[in-house]
């Protein structure tokens, strides 16, 4: 190996992800992956390769732009690739399976073929841009086949893969047609990262039970004589920066207008992509119960739901369902001068959201299942330490393993969530402060940069050389 001192700080980092947030103006990026990686790449420099976000008539070579030390290389997808790889297999099969929602799966055999073909096309486009001592870091469920495709094209250097979403129990993973081959493909890398220990164990059980891998150590698997390390790297946010943004936003127009409109009403806040995993209908039902029990004009809920993956049928149905439920709540419980629920089906700027979070007495973060859920961490960071709000958090979000002082709820239990929201609304200041301090302590010292550096350190040639060799 050349360059690269201890920790391998010198070699170039090449990030590959389906979604590439090429900076343009100050448009907000809704999505945990983009948020987590952007800061790291802007500080480190390197190459970021993936989909441009555009659909084009025909395939063309990568388009490269430089922005503050980062090269962003992107390719367009054809209409058929977008339909089969992104809408079809990635988001119509893998996403629901990985979140344990198999009834939302919609499998068509050609989509799996297209998924594999697009992974190979990514490899074909990327390989000519690679240097020998690059460290390659592949992200998320869209690109499970990419590690194998890179190896088949002669890429030998350190290659890592990070799964931003959960991984379910082996039997639940097996419902996705094609998963066996994809697990074998992803095992072609050197290091696999997960959000939580349970995701890692679930993946290992699938790799052993269905893909022929063998366990050679606590954190080690082997497939066909190749060792792979499995690590846990919970995604983090830049908590102090987010806190400063939230505080500064109190003077900005969006937060001032919202605060003025609330008068004495306690604000409940939900912020999500409009996604079936986020538990939005269940949350609205919990809110309906709360609003029915409290005096009119004493509270208001703001649900911000940024439309996402609108070509996927389950997402279209969800949009209808949420619109209907929101209308019903307001028509049932509203007054001529007051509506309990404010539903916005569009993204808001990240800074604006930070300010709204600080205004909210209760942060309602109740996904049915979530890899991490950065919104939960952002809500904690945004609070005023002297008078913090309360986080109501799904126990099925990865964040629940770290934010143990939140009011943890089962998102399938509307009544239980309603009770937790009421407890949050009535919670005395001393208890709010104590719970908030515990949560803040869990996130204050962390950052996306630290998260990324830890993964990259584990992916350095030095760290990989220390791995137990096959057969020892
Ligand atoms: P996911 O990655 O599934 O979208 P996360 O909660 O981990 O969920 O990350 C979402 C990121 O996108 C957070 O930084 C959040 O603030 C941002 N975000 C999500 N929904 C919205 C929205 N409606 N408007 C603005 N930003 C959003
Ligand atoms: C989650 C996934 C990411 C994805 C993001 C936004 O965070 O883990 O891989 O980029 O959602 O979804 P989209 O389909 O718009 O990229």
Tell me the average pLDDT across 131-157. Answer: 97
Q: Are 119 and 150 in contact (CB under 8 A)?
A: no
Give kind and range of the element (H or E) at residue 130: none
pLDDT over 90 for what percent of the chain?
Answer: 88
227: tokens are 């060792």
* Euclidean distance between CA atoms 174 and 177, whole angstroms: 7
* Euclidean distance between CA atoms 451 and 143, whole angstroms: 21
pLDDT tens-digit series, residues 407-466: 999 999 999 999 999 999 999 999 999 999 999 999 999 999 899 999 999 999 889 875
Q: Quote the pLDDT of residue 51.
A: 97
> What atom of ligand 2 comes closest to residue 142's alpha carbon?
9
Q: Quote the pLDDT of residue 29.
A: 55
Tell me the average pLDDT across 308-317. Answer: 97
2: tokens are 């050349």
* Euclidean distance between CA atoms 207 and 251, whole angstroms: 52
Looking at 303-349, list the stretches that DSSP marks H as alpha helix, in order from N- to C-terminal side: 313-333
- Residue 32 Cβ < 6 Å to ligand 2: yes
- Does residue 355 have a pLDDT over 50? yes
Q: Quote the pLDDT of residue 472.
A: 37
Q: Quote the pLDDT of residue 93.
A: 98
Span from the CA of 386 to the centroid of ligand 2 (angstroms): 34
* Euclidean distance between CA atoms 442 and 336, whole angstroms: 44
Q: Quote the pLDDT of residue 34.
A: 78
The number of the ligand nearest the C-alpha atom of 394 reads 1
Residue whose tokens read 């001068």? 337
Tell me the average pLDDT across 42-68. Answer: 92
**CB contact burial 385-405 (16+ within 10 A = b; e otherwise):** eeebbbbbbbebbbbbbbbeb
> What atom of ligand 2 comes closest to residue 139's alpha carbon?
9
- Residue 33 Cβ < 6 Å to ligand 2: yes
Residue with CA at minimum distance from ligand 1 atom 22: 347
Span from the CA of 458 to the centroid of ligand 2 (angstroms): 24
Residue with CA at minimum distance from ligand 2 atom 6: 31
Which value does ipTM take for this structure?
0.99
**CB contact burial 2-40 (16+ within 10 A = b; e otherwise):** eebeeebeebbbbbbbbbbbeeeeeebebbbbebbbbbb
The preferred substitution site among 17, 31, 74 for testing ligand 2, maximizing ligand atoms within 8 Å of CB, is: 31
SS3 label, residue 134: coil
* Euclidean distance between CA atoms 144 and 141, whole angstroms: 6
pLDDT tens-digit series, residues 201-256: 999 999 999 999 999 999 999 999 999 999 999 999 999 999 999 999 999 999 99
Residue scoring higher pLDDT (136 or 448): 136
pLDDT tens-digit series, residues 1-47: 333 333 445 789 999 999 998 877 545 555 777 777 887 888 889 99
Pocket of ligand 1 (CB under 6 A): 28, 30-32, 35, 271-273, 304-306, 347-348, 350, 353, 372-375, 378
Chain-wide mean pLDDT for the chain?
A: 94
Tell me the average pLDDT across 330-355. Answer: 97
The number of the ligand nearest the C-alpha atom of 278 reads 1
Q: Which residues are catalytic?
A: 164, 370
> For residue 471, what is the DSSP state?
T
SS3 label, residue 469: coil
- Does residue 124 have a pLDDT over 70? yes
């Amino acid at each position: 190996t050349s360059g690269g001192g201890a920790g391998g700080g010198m070699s170039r980092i090449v990030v590959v992800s389906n979604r590439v947030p090429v900076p343009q103006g100050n448009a907000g990026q809704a999505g945990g992956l983009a948020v987590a990686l952007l800061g790291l790449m802007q500080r480190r420099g390197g190459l970021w390769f993936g989909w441009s976000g555009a659909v084009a008539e025909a395939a063309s070579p990568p388009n490269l732009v430089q922005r503050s030390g980062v090269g962003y290389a992107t390719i367009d997808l054809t209409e058929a690739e977008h339909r089969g790889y992104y809408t079809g297999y990635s988001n119509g099969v893998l996403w629901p399976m990985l979140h344990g929602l198999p009834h939302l799966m919609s499998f068509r055999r050609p989509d799996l073929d297209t998924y594999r073909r697009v992974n190979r096309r990514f490899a074909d486009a990327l390989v000519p841009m690679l240097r020998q001592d690059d460290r390659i870091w592949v992200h998320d469920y869209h690109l499970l086949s990419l590690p194998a495709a890179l190896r088949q094209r002669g890429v030998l250097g350190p290659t890592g893969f990070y799964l931003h979403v959960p991984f379910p129990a082996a039997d639940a993973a097996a419902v996705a047609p094609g998963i066996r081959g994809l697990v074998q493909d992803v095992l072609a890398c050197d290091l696999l990262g997960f959000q939580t220990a349970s995701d890692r164990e679930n993946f290992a059980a699938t790799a052993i039970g269905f893909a022929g891998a063998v366990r050679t150590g606590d954190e080690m698997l082997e497939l066909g004589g190749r060792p792979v390390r499995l690590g846990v790297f919970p995604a983090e946010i830049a908590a102090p920066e987010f806190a400063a943004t939230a505080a500064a936003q109190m003077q900005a127009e969006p937060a001032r207008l919202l605060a003025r409109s609330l008068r004495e009403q306690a604000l409940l806040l939900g912020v999500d992509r409009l996604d079936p995993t986020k538990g939005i209908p269940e949350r609205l039902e919990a809110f309906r119960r709360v609003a029915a029990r409290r005096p009119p004009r004493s509270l208001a809920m703001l649900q911000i739901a940024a439309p996402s993956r609108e070509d996927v049928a389950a997402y279209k149905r969800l949009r209808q369902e949420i619109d209907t439920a929101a209308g019903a709540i307001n028509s049932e419980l509203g007054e001529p001068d007051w509506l309990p629920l404010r539903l916005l089906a569009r993204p808001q700027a990240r800074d604006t959201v930070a300010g709204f979070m600080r205004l909210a007495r209760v942060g309602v973060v109740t996904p049915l299942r979530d890899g991490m859920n950065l919104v939960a961490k952002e809500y904690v960071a945004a609070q005023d330490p002297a008078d913090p709000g309360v986080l109501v958090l799904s126990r099925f979000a990865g964040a629940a393993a770290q934010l143990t002082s939140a009011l943890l709820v089962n998102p399938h239990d509307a009544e239980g969530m309603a009770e937790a929201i009421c407890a949050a609304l009535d919670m005395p200041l001393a208890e709010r402060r104590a719970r908030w301090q515990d949560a803040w302590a869990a996130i204050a010292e962390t950052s996306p940069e630290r998260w990324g550096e830890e993964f990259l350190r584990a992916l350095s040639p030095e760290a990989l050389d220390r791995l137990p060799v096959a057969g020892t």
